[in-house]
Every structure is written in C-alpha cells, then in structure tokens.
Amino acid sequence: MPYYQQPLDVTAQPIWQALQAHRTSLQNFSMREAFANDPQRFSTFSLSGCGLFLDYSKNLMTTETRDLLVKLARDVDLQAAIDAMFRGEHLNASEGRPALHTALRRPIGDKVLVEGVDVMPQVQQVLNKMTALVGSVHDGLWRGYTDKPITDVVNIGIGGSFLGPQLVSEALLPFAQRGVRCHYLANIDGSSFHDLAAKLRAETTLFIVSSKSFSTLETLKNAQAARAWYLAQGGSEAELYRHFIAVSSNTTAAVAFGIREENIFPMWDWVGGRYSLWSAIGLPIAMTIGMSNFKELLSGAYSMDRHFQTAPFEQNMPVLMALLGVWYGNFWGAQSQAILPYDHYLRNITKHLQQLDMESNGKSVMQDGNPVNCATGPVIWGGVGCNGQHAYHQLLHQGTLLIPADFIVPVVSYNPVADHHQWLYANCLSQSQALMLGKSFSEAQAELRNQGMDEAKIAELAPHKVIPGNRPSNTLVLERISPRRLGALVALYEHKVFTQSVIWGINAFDQWGVELGKELGKGVYSRLTGTEQNGAEDASTQGLIDFFRARHRG
C-alpha cells in the first residue's frame, strides 16, 4: 500500500527515540564553542545549488545530528514519496488528486501522466496562450473600449491566486517590460477596491479574474464591483471581453460571469492554489516581466525539482532545511519560524511562504485519518529583515522563545545607493551572528566596566544586557534576484514543506480547515442582512450581530 494511504507514525520509529536521546545529549551544546573548535564548520554545513548558497552552520547541530536527521528521512522513505509526487500519484488523498505543480515547469518533450493522459501538451498550450496574450498587451494590440492600449492590469484573486503572483511580479520588477502596471485586488474590504479604482481608467484597464474554483466569495464580489465600475465609467457589456479575462478550472462559472470562453485560461485540479504561480495564475507575473523571463522562472524551479529528486539527502537543500525544521519543532519545542528577507524586492516572500507552509502543514491528522502524535507545521512570520531589526528582533534575541530564522540576502543590489548595500548585507550577517554568539554575563559586565560604570550600577544593569545566543538560523545567499534564482528559491520552500509533510505523514495538499469559516459566514451574513436576525449558535456571535444591526438599522 502506498505510504500516503498508510503513513508511519514517525514518533513510534526507533529513529525518533534516537533523535530524542541525541537532543538530550546536546543540552549544553554551544554553537560558539562548535565554531571555535572546528574551523571547517562553515564548509561542513553549507552547500550551493541552483544559484543559491545555503549556510546552515549556525544551527544547534553536529554531524551526528545531520546523520540522524537524514536517517529519519530515509526511514520514512522520503525518496519514494518524492518519486510518487513527481509521478503524479494521488498524494492529495483526501481530495483524490495528484499534486503536480512540478509538471508546470518541466521542459517540452517530457511526459506526465494523469489518469493515463499526458498533461504536458495542455501545459504547453496554456503557455502558448499566455504568450499570445502577453505579447498583444505589451505590443499595444489588445485594446480597450476606446481603442486605447492597456496600461494597467488588475489581478482579482486571493490566497494562492494572489500571494505567489504578487511576490514574484514585485520581486522581479528590475525585469519589468513595456510599462504595463500590475495591481492586486484580494481583500473584500470596499476600501481596497475604492483606493485601487481611484488610480485606474476603465478604458485602459484589463482585469484578470483569477480563481481556480471561480467560487471564492472575495474574488467574485471584487469581480462584480470591477464590472459595475467599468460600466459606470462608460464601458459597455458588448465590450466587456476587452477588459475581463479569467484564469480558472471552472469554465462554466467564468462564462456565466460574462467572460468569453476564448479568454479563459484553464487550470487543473492537480495544481493546488498555493502552488499555482507557475500556471496561468502567473499571468500578472508574465504581464510584468514578459514570457521569456516567466519561462526562466519556470526553469529555475525545474532546476530545484531536479536537485530535490536526485541529490543525496546530506546535500539536498530542501531536505536539509525541512529536517532542521523538524529538529527544532519536534525536539526543541520551537513553534514558529521567522523568514527574514534582506532585500526590498523580496519583501512579500514571507506572506507567500506563510500560506505555502501554514495552509499545507497546518494539519493534525495523518493521511489515514489517525491523529498525528507530534507537532506539525510552525507559525511562519517575519518580514523585511532590516526593518524587523528595529522592531520584533528584540524578541528573537532576548525573548524566552526559541525561533529559528531564515535570512535571505542577495550579494548584489539592483539599485546601489552609496554604501547602502554593504550596510544591508552587514546587517543581515550581524543579526545571525548576534543570534548565535549572544553576549554572556561576564561580557556584559566587562562592556559596562569599559564605559567607566561603578560596580553597583554594573550589577544592576548587566542582567538586562545579557543576550543568551545559541539561537539557530539559516542564511540563503543569492548573487542577485533573477527569474531563475527566484524560481529555485520558491521551489526550494515548496519541497521543504512537502518533505516535512512526508515525515509527519500528513497531507500537504488539502485545506479543509478553511472551509468551516466560509460555511458559517453565510449564516452570519444572512442574520446581518436578512429578516431572520436571531439564531446564531452562540451568544457571542449573536451579540456581535446585534451590534452591527443596531448601527445599520433603518
């Protein structure tokens, strides 16, 4: 029986007990000492691949830790799971589907079978359709209702139909072409639509309604608002096709909305929302950077796919990062993971990785429905590293929680201003160094003594200046952001998340947890707006409904 139908309870495996014993033996492990004792530590615990360099030497680990973690990956038969994913087996068992986002970045000529049908020709067809659309918008051939070329593209979508495209199109702005501006409309909050509409002219705006299901409330409401706005600005129903296109696997619903069938870009149920930026959901990316750069993005991701499939686990970037996550989450009690990009263009990566990781691995039952016996996905948080240094990094350095951090930094800036990039890079390195080194009590005392402080005051102040250190981080270095490297970087995290799901025996590709709120939302909405205002199942919700109704009465 395939592993995903009958996953192992990893906590019952001998390797789990071995890791627990090893963790106890590392109770007094000091990274400071490990670096002092081993000049090779940096080269032992670093590797490059796919245009990325990973330094994972600042972790609470020895070579024995790595060996044990790699054994864990072998004992759960990770390689079989990787092969099964790329082959298109039904890894998303609760939805009875494969997870084949990797097919979207495979080279022409490859074959990938879904239910016996090679899907690669369809993938290629959609890429060709995207090429034609992007070309005609960029060349000014796609015209609005007053015959003017398109200047602004608005992606109406949420979750995976927003976060990935937004990350990549904004990260690759140095590759932007032909001045088409891309905007994103996700939130159902009318203020979001209001502020965006104020910047646009209907006659030169193209809306992409981006929704795999074409049933997402926020997206449909925003699409209706956009259509009403377009009509109010002078557009007509007859010319709607010049201004509204869609990306969806639900053609019927998109046509019912009023989108011409030839303007619908297909999606497939074997691509999950948070893994979909590589499909036509990536249209705003392609609109921003052009199709040849979009294909570079795909090939960067493909290079990471190959690395993930073929590199031995000891030198496999996503596997190592996943194992370190398991190490901290399951053996050191870490509950969150900070993602800290030191790059303006990567400012949205934390939000994308938050959905990717938390929607994938925020699960508490295994594939077979049995409860999982250990912690699963962590809270992913963070943001632009340089800004965080003057805000939440305090907790990273001196708080009581252990929070592993990933630093991401390019060596070269697209926009050098004086010595800013040198300082930015220095900031990044000094943060991971400070997390690792910390400042001991005697160092704090010596520092204060050097400032000429009297002993009584030193005794009072020194404890506040102590920084425990020994806090783990990875540093990912890129030469500079490019479509290829960004493709590899995003795919790296996709595979990291998948690897962890295999270890825990959970399904990384469903998201049933988000459904209940959607269901309950319908009842709450009808009590807010309808004649039947009572009947909420709890007094808190009913009280809050009453509060709203009282304000909106009459």
Give the residue numbers annotated as catalytic, written as ranges: 359, 390, 518
Q: Which is nearer to ligand F6P, 212 or 393 (CB)?
A: 212
CA 98, 101, 107, 109 torsion-angle sign: positive
Residue in this structure with the two tokens 């970037």, named with its chain if needed: 317
505: left (phi over 0), alpha (psi -120 to 50) or beta: left
Lookup result for tokens 């009690």 = 333
Q: What are phi and psi of 109, to 5 degrees?
A: 105, -25
CA 409 to CA 17: how far, in whole Å? 36
Residue 529 structure tokens: 């707006």
CB 259: neighbour CB atoms within 10 A? 22
Minimum CB distance to ligand F6P, residue 126 (Å): 16
Q: Which residue is nearest to ligand F6P (CB)?
A: 273
Which of residues 269 and 447 has its CB atom nearest to ligand F6P in the complex? Answer: 269
- Rounded to a whole number of angstroms, the minimum distance from the CB of residue 513 to ligand F6P is 9
CB of 287 to ligand F6P, least distance (A): 18
Beta-sheet strands, E only, within 344-468: 379-382, 405-410
| Three-state SS at 185 | strand
Minimum distance from CB of 418 to ligand F6P (Å)?
41
Least Å from the CB of residue 524 to ligand F6P: 17
Q: Least distance in Å: CB of 133 to ligand F6P?
A: 19
Q: Which residues bind ligand F6P (CB under 6 A)?
A: 157-161, 211-213, 216, 219, 273-274, 359, 511, 514
CB 518, min distance to ligand F6P, A: 7
Cβ 479 to ligand F6P, closest distance in Å?
31
Helix (H, G, I), strand (E, B) or coil at 260: coil
Minimum distance between the CB of residue 509 and ligand F6P, rounded to whole angstroms?
A: 10
Provide the phi-psi class of 464: left if phi over 0, else alpha when psi is between -120 and 50, else beta.
alpha
Is residue 22 within 8 A of residue 64, CB to CB? The reply is yes
Write out 270-313 in H/E/C secondary structure. Answer: CCCHHHCCCCHHHHHHHHHHCHHHHHHHHHHHHHHHHHHHHCCH
With respect to ligand F6P, which residue has the nearer C-beta, 219 or 413? 219
**Minimum CB distance to ligand F6P smaller for 389 or for 511:** 511
CA distance 378 to 382: 13
Q: How far apart are CA 59 and CA 30, in angstroms?
A: 10
Tell me if 483 sits within 8 A of 293, measured CB to CB: yes
Nearest to 285 by CA among 370, 173, 400, 407: 173
Residues 464, 448: Cα–Cα separation, whole Å: 12
- Minimum Å gap between C-beta 192 and ligand F6P is 16
Strand partners, 371: 365
d(CA 25, CA 23) in angstroms, rounded, equals 5
Are residues 272 and 101 in contact, defined by beta-carbon separation less than 8 angstroms? yes
Given the complex with ligand F6P, which of 34 and 154 has the nearer CB atom?
Answer: 154
**Nearest CB to ligand F6P, comparing residues 162 and 504:** 162
- Interacting residues of 80 by C-beta distance below 8 A, sequence separation 6+: 3
Taking the C-alpha atoms of residue 18 and residue 22, their distance in angstroms, rounded to an integer, is 6
Q: Are 542 and 534 in contact (CB under 8 A)?
A: yes
Relative orientation angle of helices 63-75 and 14-25, to the nearest 10 degrees: 160
Of 42 and 512, nearer to ligand F6P (C-beta) is 512
Contact yes or no for 409/480 (Cβ under 8 A)? no
Nearer to ligand F6P, 161 or 316 (CB): 161
Q: How do beta strands 52-55 and 473-478 pair?
A: antiparallel
Residue with tokens 């070309």: 135
Q: Pick the closer one to ligand F6P by CB: 51 or 160.
A: 160
Residue 11 or 192 with smaller CB distance to ligand F6P: 192
Which residue in 498, 510, 509, 501 sits closest to 372, CA to CA?
Answer: 501
147: DSSP letter: S
